[in-house]
Amino acid sequence: MKFVHIADMHFDSPFVSLSDKDILGDLRRMEQRRAFKKVIEYIKENNIEYLFISGDLYENKYIRLSTIEYINKLFTEIPNTKIFISPGNHDPYIKNSYYNKFNWSENVKIFKSEIEKIETEEANIYGFGFDDFYCTDCGIRELKIEEKEKMNILVIHGTLQGADLEEKQYNSLNVKMLKEKGFDYIALGHIHKLNYSTEENQRIVYPSSTISLGFDEQGEHGMIVGELTKETINLKFIQIDEEIFKEIKIDVSDINSKEELIENINKIEIKSNEYIKIILIGNRKFEINKFEILKYIENERIIKIKNHTKLAYNLDELVNENTLKGLYAKEMLNKLQQENLSEEERQIIEKAVEIGFEALE
């Protein structure tokens, strides 16, 4: 049997923290649609019999009916492909969800909160879906595979070896226990990083998020394509997302002005498929307003600036100067040493230090 395995598309994600530019969210949502269409076209061209979608197909809070209709229209274009969806923590099978109230294509099976087995000619497909935004026990431990001579596949959303309290809220699954169950393939979702390459973990697979959702998801993103018999498994990863998220660090320690910093940023060579986040580090000698700097950046692929710099001024030394600058340094140091100072208040004081020293030069 031939299958495609995807997860974590997160259709209609707002992408609010992705970029300092408003337009990026709209562009990325268009790229989600193009990526999903690529998956469907691959299935058409290669006569793929099964499509496994392991949760977080969409964002329940933001999903629009028009997007659901778009997804379902593509499903109707592959009527001979059996589609199995395991709702996750971002798209749970709840009362008002589109999983429950939308009339899906006949080739779509959506799993609910009790593990269910669907028998097909080639395999038995087991699945489980979240019925809330959290899940601490899906009941997989009690499951026993009865027809071991047949291929058995599990489609599920969850965290392997979830250790801390937060991870355990998203259907923590034990690897040893899963292996002992005897599944021929386990189609996982939830972790957005590709994990399938080692022989030990080859039958328990995270395909990565289908497209990257931001700078914490660097590297390739796409789908797993598999061909499975009772004796053999052949998997390959196909990159779907054409865009690459990349971080570039710039040390401002030897940069003396905002204008010089902007010039340095504009010299960076960037590929046409890269989204870039600039991380500013080092000791700054001038005030840095990332939104003001971003207005003068020529390359539209630079979408975010993060300021991790520190003050270049040593206030402990400057307070000993018998000058106006020394008096100002003493006043600012006293403010910075106040008890229970919030991070926001500290940043305001540090900006005042920069502006004040620039004025006193």
Q: What is the tens place of the pLDDT at every residue in 20-64?
A: 877 788 989 999 999 999 999 999 999 999 999 999 999 999 999
Domain spanning 2-239: which CATH class is it, in words?
A: alpha beta
Is there a contact between 326 and 319 (Cβ–Cβ < 8 Å)? yes
Give me the mean pLDDT over the 221-249 stretch.
94
Ranges of CATH 3.60.21.10 domains, the chain: 2-239
pLDDT tens-digit readout, 83-130:
999 999 999 999 999 999 999 999 999 999 999 999 999 999 999 999
User: What's the CA gap between 292 and 7, in Å, rounded?
Assistant: 38
User: At residue 199, does pLDDT exceed 70?
Assistant: no
Q: Tokens 């053999």 appear where?
A: 232
> Rounded CA gap, 294 and 20, in Å?
8
Contact 248, 268 (CB under 8 A): yes
* C-alpha radius of gyration, the chain, whole number: 26
pTM of structure = 0.86
